[in-house]
Structures are given as C-alpha cells and as structure tokens.
Amino acid sequence: MFDTDDIPSNPTSNPHLGDMIDARLSRRSLLGGAAAMTIAGLVAANASSVAAAPAGRRPAVGAAPQPLLGFTGITPSSDDTVRVPEGYVYDVLIPWGTPLFPGVTWNEDASNTSADQAKQVGFNHDGMHYFPLDEGREGNRRGLLVLNHEYTDASQIYTAAQGSAITADAAGKEKVAKALAGHGVTVVEVRQLRNGTWTHVVGSKFNRRITGTTPMAFSGPVSASHPMLASSITPKPMGTLNNCANGTTPWGTSLTCAETWNGYFGTADATWTASALEARYGVSRTGFGYNWHVAEPRFDLAVNRNETNHFGWVVEIDPTNPKSTPVKRTALGRIKHEGATVTEANGRVVVYTGDDENGDYVYKFVGDRPWRMHRARRRSPLDHGTLYVAQFDAVGGGTWLPLVHGVGPLTVANGWVDQADVLIRTRQAADAVGATKCHRPEWVAVNEKNRDVYVAFTNGSGNAAPVNSNRNPNPYGHIVRIQEAGADNTALTFGWDIYLTAGDPQYDPTVPATQELFGSPDGLWIDDDGRVWIQTDISNSSQNLASRGYDRIGNNQMLVGDPTTGDLKRFLTGPRGCEITGISVTPDQRTMFVNIQHPGESTTFWNTASGAPTVTNPSAVSSWPNGGTSRPRPATVVIRKADGGRIGS
C-alpha cells in the first residue's frame, strides 16, 4: 500500500524546490527587481489574455462578459459513481477488455487469454488524445482515440482459479503475457451516433494495440545497436510499459511515455546488486512485487540486465498507420517520463516533461530548427535538438541547463562517453549539472494564448526548495506556473510562481480558506479558451483518510481553474479507488473524453470498510461502471453538455 513514486533514488545534494519556496515566500513582501517583474509580468500576461476573448464565446456588444467557468461546481463525493455538473451528461466508452476486432468477446470472469487481451482495449486507461478523422464539422463526430494503459492489477485481470501469484511454469508465463498485452496503447476509431452518444468501431482498419511486446525502433543519438541495449533475449527492441501521460505533435503523431518502468524488473539471484545507473533509476532485486521475472527471463535482472535500458523513453506512434513501427525518440532523454507536452515556438518544437519521482526534475527538449524543415528532409524533428533540465532559483527565476556531451561537467574526463551515454544516463547528467529537485513533477500544460507553462507537482517530501511550495512534507501538492523569457518557449531563462496550492485548510492553514478542496494534482490540460483542467491522483494509501488530511476531499476528481481570476470549480468526481486521468476534446469542444483509471483498486480506507479486492472478490472496493457485484473496469467517460454547448462554458 505504498506509493512507489514516493521512493526517491536521487542521491545528490542538489537543492530542492521546497527550500526555495520557503525562502521565496519569506521574501515575497520584500520582492524587488527581477522577481517582482516576473510576477507582475505573469499578472499582466494573463490579464491581456482575458481581454482577448476567443472566437465562439465573444460576448455581444454591450453584454456582460461571460465568466470563463460557466457551470455550477459540484461537491466532493465518496460514492462509487461518476458525477458531473448539472446540465452535463456522460456515457461510458471502451472499458478494459472491449473487443477491438471481430471474433473476440469480453469475459466477465477475467478468463480472456493473453491472445484475447491483445485484441481488446488494455487496462488502466491513462493519457489520451482524440485525432479527428475528417476535415471540418465531421471531425467532431468521427475520430481516433489514442490512449495509454499504464499498468495491470493482478487482483483484477486474472480469474479466481488462476490466482494473482506468478509461478515459474507455463501458467505463470501466460499470466505475464496477459499483463504485457494489457499494457501499452490502444488506437480505436470512435463515432458519434445520431442520438449524440458515442460508440467504438469494431474492426476499424485503424484499430490497433501496442503492448509490452510490440516491435519498436530506436532513433536519435541512442541506436538499437548500442552496447548498453544488447540483449540475448530481445535482440530486437520490443514493447513499452507504464504508459502514463502523452503528447501530440504538430505533424499528427502521438507520443506515449514510459513512466515507472523500473518496478517490472527483479531477480531471485541474491548475488545481483544494482549499479549506480540502476540505483539512480530505482531498479532493484525485488522490483515492485510484480514477479514477472519468475516466469519471464526477459525481466530477470541477472539474466537480461540490459533490458532496463530499453525503457524510460518517449515513444512516437503514427495513429493513422497501423502497420507503422513505434519509435523510441532518444533525444528526449531517458527518465520516468510522466508525459511529453509539445508546443511550437519560432517554428521549432518544444517538448516539456516531468520525471515523476520524489526529488526528480523537470525537462524540456528544444528542436534545433523549424520542424517543417526537418520533415521536408524526411528527418524527425524529435531527433534533432537539445535536452535541458530546469534549475529553479529562490526568487522566482530559473534557468534551463543543457544536457549536452562536452558541455559543463558532461565531459570525457568526467566519464561521459558521448551524447548517447548522456541520454541513457539522463538522470545522472541532470544531477551533475545541478538541476533542482522537485516534489514529483507530473503533467505539463501550455496555455497557447500566452505561452505560460503549468506543471503539476503531485506531492512529495524530504526536498525543501521554494518551487516545492514551501511545504515539506507536501502531502497535497501544488501547481507551478512558468513564464519563459519573452514568452518564448525556446528561451533558456524563465520566471515562476505558484498558481495553486492544493489541500484542505482545516489541516494546512497555507491553503486558501475558500478554495475548493483537492489534493495530488496530476493530469493538466489548458483548453483553447484558457481553462486549466486539473485531474487528481490521490494515492490509495491516503484517499478519504483523516489521518492523511484527505477525509473531506473525497474520491479523485477533476477541477477547472480560471488562471486570471483564481476561480476554481469541481467538474467531475470519480468512483471509489480510482484516479482521474487523460483528457481530450473534439475540435469544437462539445465532446470531452476523460479516463477513469483503476476503479476498485486496493485502497486503505475502503479496504477497512469493505475488504481488500482479490481475484475471488474483485469488486470489494468498487463495481464501477456496471454496478452490482460486477468486476470494476477502467474506462473512458464521454462528457457532453445537455444543450450541446462547449464543455466548461
């Protein structure tokens, strides 16, 4: 019942954002010079964004301007259901196990095989994007959903007879194969029916599963033939695991991110010890207890040591070409990527990413020339550019530090062989240049109206730095707003401020008394009108518990903020044991897709009340979405406004 991301593996004495926030808050009343300019700049930039109302919600001349958040917020909920505001409706789409191809059925007793799972929607839906399939209005009614599947739950995906343990026999191998097939990515065609609801298209030519065994290519400075990737068991790279958040490129591809991949590996060999590189990425003999290595030598650290180096990369997928090989884009670094948020500046791509572990860092990749120029020469814009890591100062400023071989400490004399070495050891390179330790950086969102960058720091402890909100421990998390110099996302310096401090003022007086209660922000997205959508992932060891200060916050939820006024409203609450993650809309924003991940997962509060979920009682905590005693299933919810209007308006 521990949260694996809370286990730090950063041994450096690099300063932490929490220390800096303490220092910064204590100086706030004395702010002068650059820091004051930064904050004033943020306010001014946002004020100007309000004045420029976007097309579609521009008020009539003489009419009072519409508030950005046009709905009535809902209260926290601990019920085993999804709630949305009055005037909104939702439907459940593509729950785990939904057949994507003819000839496969969903078996409620979890008796579907690994081969079935490879033709069904995966488990634990996460980051997601809707790609319209048609130009113009039809694109709002027909598209591809590309969604990640972060991990599988052994108490949910196996039958009562199979049990949850992995054994060293053919039955154990089949169970690992089913778990691998439940991971990765689903590409599925979806359509809106005449009655307004949505359905998926069984057997669409676009439907595809990418799993833990799909053949992959490597591109950028690290090639598949790099000696540190050599493997006798997987001579060709395969698979992506722990696919958390996502990104979308201007050329229409989807990025999927390997997050907490280290936990899948382990070994029974008591003589195995972690190298400095393995320790820095949290690779250990026991892993997280998945025990895949018991049945599958691919994941045995003593048998197949280099397999770990195949993971931690951003993977690019062409959703419209089901035959295309997914590509690991190594120039974006090897970390526990939460997501890969792409924006465009000066014609170049900029990709922001958080390394979600307590005490790790925020990164950005900046393309070296306009992405259209690379594409015209049949090169990937994601293979050519510079990776930077963030250093936050205590007075609201910061610097992007390059992770480039030969620059600063990353020299041959210091043991750095070449750029491939820097990228395989990204975390250690970032340690060496003096990056700032953060409280678990999760999603990054860019406000395309004014270029501000928002980062969700979900929670953390042990690392004091101002950008960690001056709370140490920081059980509720916060959202930091970065303003790049000159509102240019390729800039190498920035200002920062805290946009929201999450929490319950009953337990923490630093939380504004009238602010809506929420904790552990994770998913983050800013719509075209400037609304900041915030999804929470309170850990199962804290949800609903008074002893963790979470008893009034309810189940995980989604809120919406107005960055100018500071207004915050709750838009959705999820069922028991779930997290809310993944968000995308049709181009007209009249349909929104949101994922309910791990409903009914083992949760301290609910386990006490109703027993822990097991293979014999998978619905102990939740039976969402089907109710009764049915097995809980991660799923997408499709949200519409009853009057057909823009979501959030």
Q: Which residues bind Ca ion (CB under 5 A)?
A: 244, 522, 537, 579
Q: How far is the CB of 603 from ligand FEO (least distance, A)?
A: 17
Binding test (CB under 6 A) with ligand FEO, winner from 244, 446, 559, 572: 244
Check residue 360 for interaction with ligand FEO (CB under 6 A): no
- DSSP lists the bridge partners of residue 219 as 329
Q: Which of 356, 529, 562, 601 binds ligand FEO (CB under 6 A)?
A: 356
Among positions 338, 529, 562, 601, the unique one binding ligand FEO when judged by CB under 6 A: 338
d(CA 355, CA 347): 26
Residue 282 CB, nearest distance to ligand FEO (Å)? Answer: 13
Q: Which residue is closest to Ca ion by CB?
A: 537
Nearer residue to Ca ion within complex by CB, 244 or 389: 244
Distance in Å, CB of 5 to ligand FEO, minimum: 6
Q: How far is the CB of 170 from ligand FEO (least distance, A)?
A: 32
- Residue owning tokens 């959703």: 319
The 3 state secondary structure assigned to 381-433 is HHHCEEEEEEEECCCCEEEEEECCCCCCCCCCCCCCCCHHHHHHCHHHHHHHH
Q: Is 89 helix (H, G, I), strand (E, B) or coil?
A: strand
Determine how β-strand 579-585 pairs with β-strand 591-597: antiparallel
Half-sphere exposure of 230 (CA within 13 A, CB side): 3
The nearest distance, CB 124 to Ca ion, in angstroms, is 9
What token pair was written down for 175?
């169970």
Q: Least distance (Å) from ligand FEO to the CB of residue 384?
A: 28
The verdict on 344 binding ligand FEO (CB under 6 A) reads no
Tracing tokens 């113009």 back to the chain, one arrives at 136
Site size for ligand FEO, by CB under 6 A?
8
Smallest gap from Cβ 338 to ligand FEO, in A, equals: 5
What is the closest distance, in whole angstroms, from the C-beta atom of residue 288 to Ca ion in the complex? 13
Q: Closest distance between ligand FEO and the C-beta of residue 165, in Å? A: 25
Min dist. Cβ of residue 328 to ligand FEO (A): 18
Instruction: Please count the other Cβ atoms lying within 10 Å of the Cβ belonging to residue 581.
Output: 31
Residue 432 is given by DSSP the state: H
Judged by beta carbon, residue 431 or residue 442, the one nearer ligand FEO is 442
**What CA–CA distance (Å, rounded) separates 174 from 111?**
12
Lay out the site mask for ligand FEO across 510-529 (x = CB under 6 A, - = otherwise): ------------x-------
- Name the one residue in this structure whose structure tokens are 């490129």: 249
Nearer to Ca ion, 383 or 579 (CB): 579
Nearer to ligand FEO, 259 or 452 (CB): 259
Strands (E), 158-241: 184-192, 198-200, 208-210, 217-219
Closer to ligand FEO at the Cβ: 150 or 516? 150
Which of ligand FEO, Ca ion, none does residue 393 bind (CB under 5 to 8 Å by kind)?
Answer: none
Q: Give 410's contacts (C-beta < 8 A, 6+ positions apart).
A: 403, 404, 416, 422, 429, 432, 433
Instruction: Yes or no: say if 435 and 355 are a contact pair by the CB < 8 Å rule.
Output: no
Identify the burial level of 401 via C-beta atoms within 10 angstroms of its C-beta, where 0-12 means exposed, 13-18 middle and 19 or more buried: buried
Q: What is the nearest approach in angstroms of ligand FEO to the Cβ of residue 315?
A: 15
In contact, 578 and 597? CB cutoff 8 Å: yes
Give 244 or 502: the residue with its C-beta nearer to ligand FEO: 244
Binding flags for ligand FEO, 440-459, as an x/- string (CB under 6 A) = --x-----------------
Residue 150, contacted partner among ligand FEO, Ca ion, none, CB below 5-8 A by kind = ligand FEO
Residue 457, phi then psi, degrees to nearest 5: -105, 110
- Interacting partner of 296 out of ligand FEO, Ca ion, none (Cβ under 5 to 8 A depending on kind): none
Nearer to Ca ion, 466 or 634 (CB): 634
The minimum distance between CB 5 and Ca ion, in angstroms, equals 7
Q: How far is CA 201 from CA 98, 114, 126, 290, in A?
A: 11, 22, 20, 33
- Residue numbers 224-243 binding ligand FEO by CB under 6 A: none
* Measured torsion, CA atoms of residues 608, 609, 611, 617, in degrees rounded to the nearest 10: -150
- Nearest CA to 263 out of 304, 293, 239, 228 is that of 293
Q: Which is nearer to ligand FEO, 354 or 396 (CB)?
A: 354
H helix runs in 28-148, sequence order = 33-51, 114-117
Residue 638: name the closest of 92, 84, 81 by CA: 92
SS3 (DSSP) at 259: coil
Contact between 19 and ligand FEO per CB under 6 A? no
Question: Should residue 357 be labelled a site residue for ligand FEO when binding is judged by CB under 6 A?
Answer: no
Report the sign of the C-alpha dihedral through residues 280, 286, 287, 292, in that order.
positive
CB nearer to Ca ion: give 156 or 162: 156
Strands (E), 376-470: 385-392, 397-402, 438-439, 441-446, 453-457
Give the whole-angstrom CA distance, residue 443 versus residue 146: 17
CA angle, 87 as apex, 646 and 589 as ends, to 5°?
15
Q: Across 410-530, where does the E strand assignment appear?
A: 438-439, 441-446, 453-457, 478-484, 493-501, 521-526
Q: Closer CB to ligand FEO, residue 150 or residue 278?
A: 150
Binding ligand FEO by CB under 6 A: which of 22, 116, 150, 601?
A: 150
What is the contact mask toward ligand FEO in residues 43 to 82, using x (rule: CB under 6 A)? ----------------------------------------
Residue 259 site contact among Ca ion, ligand FEO, none (CB < 5 to 8 Å, cut-off depends on kind) = ligand FEO
The strand pair at 184-192 and 142-149 is best described as antiparallel
What string marks each residue from 249 to 288 as x (binds ligand FEO by CB under 6 A) or -? ----------x-----------------------------
User: Of ligand FEO, Ca ion, none, which one sits near residue 452, judging by CB under 5 to 8 A according to partner kind?
Assistant: none
By CB under 6 A, residue 601 contacts ligand FEO:
no
Find which of Ca ion, ligand FEO, none residue 504 binds, CB within 5 to 8 Å per kind: none
**Contacts with ligand FEO, residue ranges (CB under 6 A):** 5, 150, 244, 259, 338, 356, 442, 522
